[in-house]
Amino acid sequence: MTNHDSTRSGTGPVDARFDPDLQPDLYAGILAKRVVAFFIDVLIVALLMVPAFLLVFIIGIVTLGLGFLLFPPVFTIVALGYVALTLGGPSSATIGMRATSIEMRTGTGGRMFPLLAAMHALIFWFSVSILTPLVLVVGLLSNRNRLLHDILLNTVMVNSAAIDRVEQGLGRP
């Protein structure tokens, strides 16, 4: 069963189990948790970049500078690989998201998959680079605390414990 509430949140169909009026605990504190999770993930990706930097640096020296051209694609692959493997993995959450007890789901309640996770990251970075952090204001105006890239890809960020209760049928009707 889906809920077409495009007038309230500017979204397409989202599973009725994700209705913020019926399941407010799904979205409690989501924006603050997302910010903390983001910084945890930035730190992890930065740590993953260290061996990638060393590898490209050595290749650059051996190839008399030509290998230095690998920096942008290698760093992109490391960052997107991290997101695709964690957010697109079985837990539908990056390490930072797991640390803050949140996860991402598709609008129909399904778990994320690697391609959707990578697209989510790319659209986030493009939207932030074009719209600056103003893109985050959308989360304050959305009844599901969804950001612009969430709306475009029809995904929702929810509290892990609350979604477990909803999936077990223990949530509010």
Condensed to tens digits (0 to 9), the pLDDT of residues 24-57 reads 999 999 999 999 999 999 999 999 999 999 999 9
**d(C-alpha 10, C-alpha 157), whole Å:** 16
Q: Which amino acid is at 162?
A: A
The pTM score is 0.85
Confidence label for 133 from pLDDT (cuts 50, 70 and 90): confident
Residue labelled with tokens 């223990």: 170
